[in-house]
């Protein structure tokens, strides 16, 4: 969204900076309002505003995008007052640092489709328009928090922040935002304020403070009334953050117990949504993963005209579409590489252009392995940003393709199969090793003409449409791996992990565990939607784990489990070597280097040599800080390692687990008995 008329309510440091930068970016008309007439005059004189009406409602009536830049509690009242005055098609957002309250307020008042919250991670300790800066937001991350029915508004607002204000927007659930900010912003502010108060009372008269004291208390110079309001509005997240947290007690004996069910399979969830959107009629999906990546796929499909019901826990998700339509804005894939790469395949067969983008992490990840074969099929792809998003794809008439992938990649294979399906041309794909085959199984389950010919997979689309379907998504094998590993590291007990997909292309983790001395029993084997499913019984091994070598041919069946296997290897006798895992360098992070570096930070001898990972086991308790780089699998792997008796592992963040396993920490606590 690039509005021709922008309204800013509140002209302090944040609102004033936003107005200044919008004018510099060429927004034709910026209107602003402040309860302080002097601020309105100052903003107009500095060129931030084209007009400063005396009433906020006059601003709301005149603009296409309205930004509430008052303190968080005032924004709640302003939302009630101003939203009814917006013109048709106008949207509204805010810039407060607490999001759950205003998102819930917008939903309760019926403003959800026109509202999304925003929070730029940029600021100043000054206040008032005099503290406004022309470059305050440039290069900053801005969190965008959609309402349940406001994905369209969220896309528009994210595009505004990216295109006009030169920021890096990240879509995030409002509750997750508040939990994260409690730790990364609100808690440091509270600590600095408490320290400043203590020093003010305890320091002898005439004492001189050193640089360390000044640095440690600098945050306390911020406006106290504003921060009191923020603390009160986010108290449910801030108060639990105040005690020191550990992943596990230091010396207690840890056992496992009970039963746990991992969330829906991420890979199957993506594919089920996409094929449901390509199907004729209404499809229903249960057990869908509710993580952020799958929500990104749902959001992109809605942007193409699909009706996708809300993705939430224990809900049946319904998907219906008459036909895809040209999107009115960029399709934002969040942090989901699967969404981006598979949607490139689907869009290759559509007769309109579309632009895919993502968050800062996804925009650094390579796309050429998908775009090159799609170009060979006839798709036109503009890659002004090189081998990365944003990418604009011009779909249309495709031709048949026979392709050998340089690496075993389920995403590349699936993108090409989906391109063949939507373009109605034959596709033949050969891999060096068999990668995950969820796409093939689902296509066969739907009765499509998929064949296995001498090690290659070929799809022969027909003129008939994909049929609608009902599907139950099994539990994610990769998520289950963390629970299995926690049980393996325990000192006793038994754990039942229910409803796990045991597709042979996903269970290399269990094969390696067996070699390391940990047996996992599969019971209640069954088939659901073409996928094998079982319950897993896990008991800690009687003897110590032993090191092993993971061959290159095994890696496609366990690529997402390398972090947790490396964590287990750090507790095994001898050395464990993972061969040819260079693929990990282009995951959500440089996962290969981070696994090695974090293990070393915990006192483990670990090295990435070329594309191989070497881990030497130790009996010393792991202690130190882990940098997750917001990689969900690193956060979960090292949290599990932190359950070892005597461990003291401090994660740089925990919020990233919501990408694939929102309940992870609650489930990890529930299975432990100390």
The residues annotated with a catalytic role in the active site are: 560
Q: How far is CA 16 from CA 46, 93, 142, 221, 595, in A?
A: 10, 15, 17, 20, 43
Q: What angle do CA 160, 340, 455 make, to 5 degrees?
A: 175
* End-to-end Cα distance, the chain: 53
- Cα(396)–Cα(232) distance, integer angstroms: 54
Helix (H, G, I), strand (E, B) or coil at 451: strand
Return d(Cα 495, Cα 487) in angstroms, integer.
Answer: 7
Q: What is the pairing mode between strands 456-459 and 470-472?
A: unpaired
Quote the tokens at residue 77.
Answer: 């009242």
Task: Tell me the three state secondary structure of residue 578.
Answer: strand
Question: How are the residues of the chain apportioned to helix, strand and coil, as percentages rounded to the nearest 5?
Answer: 40, 20, 40
Which residues on neighbouring strands pair with residue 120, listed in sequence order? 142
Of 615, 577, 622, 574, nearest to 601 (Cα)? 622
Rounded Cα distance between 475 and 488, Å, is 19
Residue 500: name the closest of 483, 475, 471 by CA. 475
Residue with tokens 């409602």, as numbered in its chain: 57
| Sign of the torsion formed by the C-alpha atoms of 480, 484, 485 and 491 | positive
> Could you tell me which residues come within 8 angstroms of residue 467 by beta carbon, excluding any fewer than 6 positions away?
279, 280, 281, 446, 447
**HEC-encoded secondary structure of 145-165:** EECCCCHHHHHHHHHHHHHCC
Angle (CA) 184-185-190 rounded to 5° is 115
């Amino acid at each position: 969204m690039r509005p021709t008329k922008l309204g800013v309510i509140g002209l302090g440091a944040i609102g004033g900076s936003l107005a200044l930068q919008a004018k510099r970016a060429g927004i034709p008309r910026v209107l602003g309002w402040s309860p302080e007439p002097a601020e309105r005059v100052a903003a107009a004189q500095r060129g931030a505003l084209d007009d400063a009406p005396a009433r906020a409602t006059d601003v709301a009536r005149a603009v296409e995008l309205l930004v509430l830049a008052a303190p968080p509690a005032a924004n709640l009242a302003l939302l009630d007052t101003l939203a009814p005055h917006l013109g048709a098609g106008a949207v509204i957002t805010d810039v407060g640092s607490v999001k759950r309250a205003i998102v819930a307020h917008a939903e309760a008042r019926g403003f959800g489709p026109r509202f999304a919250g925003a929070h730029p991670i940029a600021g100043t300790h000054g206040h008032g328009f005099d503290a406004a800066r022309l470059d305050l937001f440039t290069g900053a991350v801005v969190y965008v928090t959609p309402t349940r029915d406001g994905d369209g508004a969220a896309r528009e607002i994210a595009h505004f922040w990216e295109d006009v204000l030169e920021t890096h927007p990240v879509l995030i659930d409002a509750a997750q935002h508040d939990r994260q900010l409690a730790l990364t912003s609100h808690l440091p502010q509270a600590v600095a304020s408490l320290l400043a108060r203590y020093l003010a009372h305890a320091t002898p008269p005439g004492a001189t403070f050193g640089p360390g004291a000044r640095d440690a208390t600098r945050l306390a110079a911020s406006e106290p009334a504003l921060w009191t309001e923020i603390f009160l509005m986010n108290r449910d997240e801030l108060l639990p953050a105040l005690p020191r947290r550990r992943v596990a007690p230091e010396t207690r004996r840890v056992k496992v117990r009970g039963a746990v069910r991992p969330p829906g399979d991420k890979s199957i969830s993506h594919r089920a949504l996409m094929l449901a959107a390509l199907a004729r009629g209404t499809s229903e999906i249960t057990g869908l993963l509710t993580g952020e990546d799958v929500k990104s796929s749902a959001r992109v499909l809605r942007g193409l005209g699909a009706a996708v019901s809300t993705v939430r826990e224990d809900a049946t998700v319904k998907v219906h579409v008459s036909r895809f339509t040209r999107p009115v804005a960029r399709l934002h894939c969040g942090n989901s590489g699967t969404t981006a790469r598979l949607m490139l395949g689907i869009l290759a067969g559509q007769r309109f252009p579309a632009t895919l983008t993502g968050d800062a992490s996804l925009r650094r990840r390579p796309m050429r392995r998908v775009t090159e074969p799609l170009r060979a099929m006839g798709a036109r792809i503009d890659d002004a940003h090189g081998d990365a998003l944003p990418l604009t794809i011009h779909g249309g008439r495709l031709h048949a393709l026979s392709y050998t992938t340089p690496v075993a990649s389920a995403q590349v294979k699936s993108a090409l199969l989906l391109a063949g399906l939507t373009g109605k041309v034959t596709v033949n794909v050969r891999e060096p090793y068999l990668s995950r085959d969820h796409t093939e199984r689902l296509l066969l389950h739907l009765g499509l003409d998929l064949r296995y010919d001498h090690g290659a997979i070929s799809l022969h689309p027909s003129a008939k449409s994909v049929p609608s379907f009902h599907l139950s998504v099994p539990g994610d094998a990769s998520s289950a791996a963390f629970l299995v590993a926690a049980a393996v590291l325990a000192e006793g007990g038994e754990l039942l992990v229910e409803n796990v997909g045991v597709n042979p292309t996903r269970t290399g983790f269990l094969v390696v565990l067996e070699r390391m001395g940990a047996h996992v029993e599969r019971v209640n084997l069954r088939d659901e939607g073409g996928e094998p499913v079982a319950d897993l019984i896990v008991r800690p091994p009687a003897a110590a784990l032993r090191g092993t070598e993971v061959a290159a041919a095994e890696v496609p069946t366990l690529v997402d489990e390398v972090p947790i296997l490396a964590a287990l290897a750090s507790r095994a006798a001898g050395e464990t070597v993972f061969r040819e895992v260079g693929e990990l360098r282009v995951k959500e992070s440089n996962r290969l280097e981070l696994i090695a570096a974090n293990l070393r930070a915990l006192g483990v001898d670990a090295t990435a040599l070329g594309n191989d990972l070497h881990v030497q086991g130790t009996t010393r308790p792991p202690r130190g800080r882990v940098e997750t780089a917001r990689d969900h699998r690193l956060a979960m792997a090292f949290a599990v390692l932190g359950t070892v008796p005597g461990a003291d592992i401090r994660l740089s963040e925990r919020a990233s687990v919501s990408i694939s396993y929102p309940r992870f920490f609650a489930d990890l606590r529930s299975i432990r008995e100390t």
